[in-house]
Amino acid sequence: MATRESNWAVKIRDQPMATEERSWALEIDDQTENTGNSAEKQQSPKPSIYRVPAYIRRLNCHAYKPQIVSFGPYHHGDPNVMPMEEHKDRALTHFLKRANKSLQDVRTAMAEVVQQLRGAYQSLDGKWAGDERFLHLMILDGCFMLEIIRVATKKPDDGGYEMDEPIFSDHGNLYTVPCIKRDMMMFENQLPLLVLYKLVFVEGRGDCVEYVNELVLTFWDKTLTVEGERRHLLDMLRLSRLGKQSSAATSRGQKNSPKVSIIRSASELREAGIRFRKSKSDSLLDIQFKHGVLSLPKLTVDDSTEYMFLNLMAFERLNIGTGNEVTSYVVFMDSIIDSAKDIKLLHHKRIIRNALGSDTEAAELFNRLAKDVVFVPNSNLSKVQNNVITYSQKKCRRHRANLCRTYFKSPWTTLSLMAAIVLLVLTVVQTIYAVLQFHLSA
């Protein structure tokens, strides 16, 4: 058998190879020999803004496509967002006037990082290969984004716009900016924050990175210290929801990571003796389980919640090394929310503020979010989940919980129980007294 295999291998090796196949093989061999690990890392692109794949998009195709304004190249020119383009020109003019700079000054500064900006996007169309068109897009969209953020955060306070301005006025801030803000959450609709850093630098600010980071976090309604340059607004939104700069090391695989079982719903956990409490902060990381109490961060569920979580999970899923904290939180919440009864319980504990109106609709939202997503066994929530499951499986705690719900549900049932206990004690004392009297008289 060994001889046959050897002869067969020699026969295949000695067969003439086609010219195209030979050149392709030689090219691959040259790359394998000449490209070291360091060079291979340099050649591989490091994008941070992706087109959402079809297998993710099919969960909700509307969650990843902007409805009113486009940022960046992916949706530029879409018919639905074209009406907003004229407002971008006014934002650019206003920015140049405020900064007292020319368009050439901005272009020169942006040209220094054009390759870095282009490399932030995955799979750009060929029409964006030229620097002029791409720079024009970055400057125009960057100025519009910066002006929107400043108007929304009241920085500068006067804004510098007329009262009847359709976008950059109090009226626009009330009716239009919330829709633009939702489009800013979308993964495919991101602009590298490097654009904003450069624009603020052109204005003359030496602390451009710190200024932009603080401005964006205020835009996301958070106060948080973020060090260094960040990738885009969705990246900053994720940090604002986590409440800190997460480390990719927290989500890396670990050897012999504990196996996580399926946790029961909130209403079932309550029947098992587990109590719920609102965490001290609204960070998605602030989930703890101590002494039978599961503490969960406060969350407002509204029309933008689904868009936010789907895009944050896509960001974590497609960017290697980003972390999985948001995804783990969503899967955990889906595990303890099965029906409207669970939403009602968490709402009663002031953990979930349901702005959708219907508890059933809110429960279905969490069930949709976690579809085709698995819980990461070695995530930060693994220990919490396992401790909750272990605690809830002990029968004595389940019986104690049933006793508390039956007899201590309200002050009246508590008083009735105490009265019954007092009556029982008095009956026992009376019986003992009667027995003693009988023996003493005998």
221 domain residue, yes or no: no
pLDDT digits (tens, 9 = 90+) for 235-260: 999 999 998 765 554 444 445 555 66
**Does residue 185 sit in the same domain as residue 310?**
no
The parent domain of residue 428 ranges over: 410-441
Give the C-alpha separation, 284 to 297, whole Å.
Answer: 6
Q: Which two tokens stand for residue 131?
A: 């620097």
**Does residue 139 sit in the same domain as residue 266?**
no
* Number of domains present in the structure of the chain: 3
**Does residue 188 sit in the same domain as residue 69?**
yes
User: What confidence score (pLDDT) does residue 343 get?
Assistant: 96
Give the C-alpha separation, 349 to 358, whole Å.
Answer: 17
User: What confidence score (pLDDT) does residue 276 get?
Assistant: 96
Q: Is the pLDDT of residue 158 over 60?
A: no
**Does residue 165 sit in the same domain as residue 70?**
yes
**Does residue 65 sit in the same domain as residue 146?**
yes
81 domain residue, yes or no: yes
**Does residue 152 sit in the same domain as residue 273?**
no
32 domain residue, yes or no: no
Q: Which of 363, 397, 405 is nearest to 293 (CA)?
A: 397
Which ranges constitute the DSSP H helices of 319-410? Answer: 325-336, 340-348, 359-369, 381-392, 395-407
Q: Distance between terminal CA atoms of the chain?
A: 108
At which of 149, 181, 209 does a domain end?
Answer: 209
**Does residue 292 sit in the same domain as residue 417?**
no
**Does residue 262 sit in the same domain as residue 374?**
yes
39 domain residue, yes or no: no
Q: Which of the two residues, 44 and 421, has the higher pLDDT score?
A: 421
**Does residue 426 sit in the same domain as residue 321?**
no
**Does residue 290 sit in the same domain as residue 186?**
no
Give the C-alpha separation, 51 to 54, whole Å.
Answer: 9
At which of 144, 175, 209 does a domain end?
Answer: 209
26 domain residue, yes or no: no
**Does residue 389 sit in the same domain as residue 433?**
no
User: What confidence score (pLDDT) does residue 45 get?
Assistant: 56
DSSP class per residue in 158-227? STT--TT-SSSSHHHHHHTHHHHHHHTT-GGG---HHHHHHHHHHHT-TTHHHHHHHHHHHHTT------
Q: Is the pLDDT of residue 156 over 80?
A: no
**pLDDT band at residue 402 using 50, 70 and 90 as cut-offs:** low
The DSSP bridge pattern shows strands 288-290 and 275-278 to be unpaired
299 domain residue, yes or no: yes
Q: Which two tokens stand for residue 248?
A: 């990719």
**Does residue 90 sit in the same domain as residue 184?**
yes
pLDDT digits (tens, 9 = 90+) for 254-303: 455 556 667 899 999 999 889 999 999 999 999 999 999 999 999 999 99
139 domain residue, yes or no: yes
350 domain residue, yes or no: yes
**pLDDT band at residue 401 using 50, 70 and 90 as cut-offs:** very low
